[in-house]
Chains A and B, each alone.
Chain A
């Protein structure tokens, strides 16, 4: 049985009185430039640390993304309307590796070869994805994460 919300959404769609705004369509078209062809996707992983910290309020939040060969642990701090990220890639990806912290507006690049650690501050809230580039290997990209200020 169709629920009221979908029924009304369908009627509104048909009425043409609440069309999709042009900037929403433009953003959808531009999203294609964020495609990472050939990359390996790292999905979120539940772990003791992240599940415990996520429930608290106010402090940093921990998020883990992982593939079979690499994990991203990311600490997210929200303050003054901006986002700070600090993270660790394990195992250490080696010399010549770098992380791209991607938002819809900008990409911040950080070297991670020696320690696997990276950080970026003062980022705009919104959608985030990390990419680990390693010499001679396929890039590993996290699924998109939304962070509010």
Chain B
């Protein structure tokens, strides 16, 4: 049984410490998933809290405990998207989500490390651009630091992410 499955079972059996371990293990990627939707701190906190409440509702019904991290990241993202819709009363989905976004696996620690290794292989200006954008620096500052017109940052970012995806695909072919 995986660590996640053991922790999940212990939390379902009433072990508070197991729940705390789950929050420490998966909280950061849930935060990243919520922030990826463009939410500010307060709304992102709300989305993450919502995802934990969904886990509480489903503690004994998670189909793939080994993929709990992906489920939580996906759930945080869905809560974030619901917040963006600004509905005064946000009724939960009729059926709780069981399927995770396949992409949420990229928020696993190993994938994050690999991703940064791949970024270092990108040519300039992509390498520096992605470092700056990942540092929460606004486009205005990125433009100044890179000596690029402001209007070209978005399109260049798109091209750089495409190059990064190509490296990811090559890496996946090798493995």
Q: Is B one of A's binding partners?
A: yes
Report A1-21 CB contacts with B as 1/0, cut-off 8 Å: 111111111111111011111
Q: Is A41 at the interface (CB under 8 A from chain B)?
A: yes
Partner of A145, one of B14, B29, B91: B91
Asked if A29 and B19 make an inter-chain contact with CB atoms under 8 angstroms apart, the answer reads yes
Given contacts A29-B19, A44-B91, contact A9 B33 (CB under 8 A): yes
Interface residue count for B (Cβ, 8 Å)?
66
Minimum CB distance partner of A36 in chain B: B56
- Complex CA gap A143/B56 in Å reads 10
Q: Is B1 at the interface (CB under 8 A from chain A)?
A: no
Residues of chain B within 8 A (CB-CB) of A41 are 57
Asked if B88 and A148 make an inter-chain contact with CB atoms under 8 angstroms apart, the answer reads yes
Interface size classification for chain A:
35 or more
Minimum CB distance partner of B36 in chain A: A9
Minimum CB distance partner of A128 in chain B: B89
Asked if A13 and B89 make an inter-chain contact with CB atoms under 8 angstroms apart, the answer reads no
Residues of chain B within 8 A (CB-CB) of A13 are 28-29, 32, 107, 112
- Complex CA gap A76/B87 in Å reads 13
Give the distance to chain B from A63, nearest Cβ to Cβ, in Å: 6
Give the distance to chain A from B160, nearest Cβ to Cβ, in Å: 10
Residues of chain B within 8 A (CB-CB) of A21 are 31, 41, 45
Asked if B136 and A18 make an inter-chain contact with CB atoms under 8 angstroms apart, the answer reads yes
Residues of chain B within 8 A (CB-CB) of A4 are 157-158, 161
Asked if B89 and A54 make an inter-chain contact with CB atoms under 8 angstroms apart, the answer reads yes
Residues of chain A within 8 A (CB-CB) of B45 are 21, 23-24, 27
Minimum CB distance partner of A127 in chain B: B53
Asked if A34 and B53 make an inter-chain contact with CB atoms under 8 angstroms apart, the answer reads yes
Partner of B49, one of A6, A127, A145, A148: A127
Asked if A11 and B104 make an inter-chain contact with CB atoms under 8 angstroms apart, the answer reads no
Given contacts A7-B165, A9-B36, contact A35 B107 (CB under 8 A): no
Report A31-44 CB contacts with B as 1/0, cut-off 8 Å: 11011010001011
- Complex CA gap A32/B46 in Å reads 16
Closest 10 CB pairs of A and B: A9-B36, A20-B31, A13-B32, A14-B112, A11-B134, A28-B23, A32-B19, A146-B90, A5-B36, A6-B103
